[in-house]
Amino acid sequence: MQNPSIQLSDVIYNAAEQTFEALVTLHRDGTARKYACAINAPITMSFEQAAEGLKKQAIRRDRQGVGMYSEQVRRAAQQRAGRPRFDPRRWLESLIAMPGNRAA
């Protein structure tokens, strides 16, 4: 299993709860899983330390398969069977060629 790439979004400090909170996204094999993470820490903690703690929490949740998360799977669009591709130029030419569509 390869290590996921990690993205932190909306990192805030919740003074009422004394926690750093963020939405952490793990990207792996065309799948993106988002975890809402929070770590207890004083406001004096450096951003780098808080970010590392939030990343570790998301990875731990992902490995254990517990907690709530949002998942998006990348899918390739498939062409519908039996339908030709729409060509706007050909469509406009057919409109011009129709009888009775000429200006006086």
Domain residue extents for the chain: 5-73
| Residue 49 pLDDT level (bands cut at 50, 70, 90) | very high
pLDDT tens digits for range 3-22? 789 999 889 999 999 999 99
Q: What mean pLDDT is predicted for residues 25-52?
A: 91
Distances (CA, A) of 102 to 58, 67, 95, 98: 66, 66, 10, 9
Structure tokens at 46: 């450096």
3-class DSSP assignment, residue 90: helix
How would DSSP label each residue in 2-17?
A: PPPEEEEEEEEEETTT
| pTM higher than the cut 0.85 | no
| Residue 78 pLDDT level (bands cut at 50, 70, 90) | confident
Higher-pLDDT residue of 82 and 21 is 21
